[in-house]
Amino acid sequence: MTGISADTPAVDLLQAAAETLHRRRLEEVAELEVLAAWADVHSADGPGSGPLIHPGGQGTPGVQDHAMGEIALARHTGVMATINATADVLDLRHRLPSTWAKTKAGVVDVWVVRKIARLTRHLPHTAVALVDTAIAPILDREGTGRILDITAAKIIEADPDLHNTRVETEKQRRYVNLGQTDEHGLRTLIARLEAGDATYVEATVTRVADILKTRHDNHTPDELRAKALGYLARPAELLALLTANTDPHGNLDPHLPHDPWNPTPPTGPEPTGPKNEEASAGSEDTGQEHSLNKAIAFPTDLLDRLTDVDWAVLKPKHTLYAHLHETALHGTPGVARVEGLGAMTLAQLHGLLAGATVVVKPVIDLHDKIRATAYEHPESLKERVHLTTGGDYWPWANSTNRHLDYDHVHPYQPEGGDGQTGSHNSGPLGRRHHRYKTHAGYRATQTGPGEYVWTTPHHQAFLVNHTGSRQIDPEVAEALINRPRWHEQTPQPTLHPPPPDNAPPDPLNPFNHAA
């Protein structure tokens, strides 16, 4: 489309945006195809050709090393950047053919599939086909973040033994480093550790920060967390703090001092290390009852209390959501997807939970229809809605976390009906997407469990459900929106599966209409 200006109608601008996106993707595909053809021309040994290099994964052809300099100059890029791009296209063409076919159709950004090529490069040629088969169908239906999450899981599934070997190798690269002290007396701490250990550190820091908040209400959350991390380096003080504040909800025990080192809440700076003999003597001189044991710098009355402490109370508490196929529960090797941590083998999941007190929650039947009598979403409803939707229900949204707004898809009505709070009228939205729906004329309708139809101010229409996101004909959208309410029927109507190529049009089946 040409002649774009401020006078161009909005509908034409939307069409131009879609066409420009498609052209840009095809141009980037063409750029990769030039590199693939150059590699084909220079894939054999010859006089003066230099050695063959194999930038791609197993099963891809070699390329003459000397030839890469010239094509890099023609592209106005560095040689390594050109070699990396060549490796990606060779992997796509020879190892991920279904993904490459979808890429050439312009349905996905090239950088996404290039990343998939890099992530799978270590896999044997025979194993990478599993990833290709799983990823290609979702490239035009899911957001980039979800595509890459599924890719990570399929890479583990494709070759679990290789994954385990790589995990053990990477464990040898764990580290903790300290930066230089700056002019303000502050240092940066950087660590690379196992995800499970990092989760426990995070939970403990959060717990200690919640305790410290009661006596440092002028501190920011980041300041409190930094102070809490310092306590992890002082186990005596940490244990004293935790045993004096054993309420799992973060409330101080009214029968114990805020600080076991001091019977009154502190007014000065935090102690910077375990108490020494001089501190103990000073305590006795001032008449304080909490004398210290000089051997381990514990208050003596605290040592007496430790024999009665329920140590389970001191463990940080965390809810872990692990998604896995039911066959994995019966001994079949599988891959778990752990929210916030990513894909891992069952052995890694076992290691993550080692030493923890695990409470398994009952399975939630997501087919149940749940309603609430208040405007606010109860936590039980939020959990059910998240498990049904998997995250933000805006088309092609990437967010899969639980820290989203829980939206009434249809305007709230306290008297009940479609507007009542419930599983029939709820969906998680990112804050910006929520504002669009509330103030900018975007309309959402919940047409099934975890299924939503969106229409935009300029009459575009989109369907979001368990298969992902796709654009649909506005007339199909209206038919879905106006059909009888799904949550009032028994049995519930479900969306039809994709029809055969020769099937007659079905006005209620969005898969049978061109977008």
Q: Output the CA torsion sign for 354, 359, 365, 369.
A: negative
Are 418 and 468 in the same domain?
yes
What pLDDT does residue 268 have?
A: 43
In a domain, 418, yes or no: yes
Are 342 and 310 in the same domain?
no
Q: What angle do CA 241, 246, 248 make, to 5 degrees?
A: 125
Q: Please state, rounded to an integer, the average pLDDT across all residues of the chain.
A: 80
Among 263, 293, 314, the domain boundary falls at 314
In a domain, 309, yes or no: yes
The answer to whether the beta carbons of residues 241 and 208 sit under 8 Å apart is yes
Tokens representing 143? 């957001």
Among 113, 140, 170, the domain boundary falls at 170
What pLDDT does residue 126 have?
A: 93
pTM, two decimal places? 0.69
d(CA 112, CA 89): 12
Are 390 and 435 in the same domain?
yes
How buried is 52 (Cβ within 10 angstroms: 0-12 exposed, 13-18 middle, 19+ buried)? middle
**How many beta carbons lie within 10 A of that of residue 334, not counting itself?**
19
What pLDDT does residue 200 have?
A: 84
Are 237 and 150 in the same domain?
no
Domain that includes residue 494, residue range: 379-512
In a domain, 6, yes or no: no
Are 273 and 339 in the same domain?
no
Which residues are 275's β-sheet partners?
none
Are 280 and 339 in the same domain?
no
Are 45 and 161 in the same domain?
yes
Tokens representing 359? 């409470």
In a domain, 343, yes or no: yes
**Each residue of 428-470: pLDDT tens digit?**
998 889 988 888 888 999 998 889 999 998 889 999 998 899 9
What pLDDT does residue 294 have?
A: 38
Are 332 and 448 in the same domain?
no
What pLDDT does residue 214 have?
A: 86
Compute CA distances 372 → 215, 383, 404, whole Å: 37, 14, 19
In a domain, 112, yes or no: yes
Compute CA distances 44 → 9, 52, 88, 125, 336, whole Å: 54, 8, 19, 21, 43
What pLDDT does residue 163 have?
A: 92
In a domain, 137, yes or no: yes
Are 128 and 159 in the same domain?
yes
Are 435 and 344 in the same domain?
no
Backbone φ/ψ region at 80: left (φ over 0), alpha (ψ -120 to 50), beta: alpha
Tally of domains in the chain: 4
Q: Three-class SS string for 283-295?
A: HHHCCCCCCEECC
Residue of 394, 392, 405, 391 whose CA lies nearest to 462: 394
In a domain, 485, yes or no: yes
Are 239 and 278 in the same domain?
yes
Among 266, 286, 314, the domain boundary falls at 314
In a domain, 224, yes or no: yes
Residues in the chain with pLDDT < 50? 248-296, 490-499, 501, 503-515
Are 164 and 35 in the same domain?
yes
Residue of 451, 462, 454, 458 whose CA lies nearest to 424: 451
What pLDDT does residue 18 have?
A: 93
